[in-house]
């Protein structure tokens, strides 16, 4: 279950980031660029939580994202939302690559 943030034109999706060396929880931010048009904006990863499989990493990211959304639901600010993820160890990745499943 994903709640919407207040106006700010961003959306978030949990997942995993990595490969054969291990997978870490990730949260991908999308920015609205037009009416119902979204582009990847930035990627957060938690390098302190390495898993052997994508599912475990994705599950932890989903748990952390749900916890951050609860802050918004209880009247918190987008800054508090971001800070809660930082406190869980998430860091921004530059030059991230999205691999589409076929």
Q: Where are the domains of the chain?
A: 10-93
Q: What pLDDT does residue 92 have? A: 92
SS3 22: strand
C-alpha–C-alpha distance, residues 71 and 41, integer Å: 22
pTM: 0.81
Of residues 51 and 31, more confidently modeled: 51
Residue 6 has pLDDT above 50, yes or no: no
Residue 11 has pLDDT above 70, yes or no: yes
Q: What is the mean pLDDT of the chain?
A: 86
Of residues 99 and 38, more confidently modeled: 38
Q: What pLDDT does residue 44 have? A: 94
pLDDT, tens digit (0-9, with 9 covering 90-100), for 63-85: 999 999 999 999 999 899 999 99
C-alpha–C-alpha distance, residues 72 and 92, integer Å: 21
């Amino acid at each position: 279950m994903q709640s919407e943030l207040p106006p700010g034109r961003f959306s978030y999706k949990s997942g995993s980031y990595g490969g054969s060396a291990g997978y870490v929880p990730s949260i991908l931010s999308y920015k609205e660029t037009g009416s119902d048009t979204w582009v990847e904006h930035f990627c957060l990863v938690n390098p302190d939580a390495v898993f052997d499989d994508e599912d475990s990493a994705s599950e932890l990211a989903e748990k952390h994202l749900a916890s951050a959304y609860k802050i918004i639901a209880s009247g918190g600010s987008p800054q508090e939302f971001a800070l809660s993820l930082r406190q869980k160890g998430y860091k921004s990745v530059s030059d991230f690559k999205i691999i589409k499943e076929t």
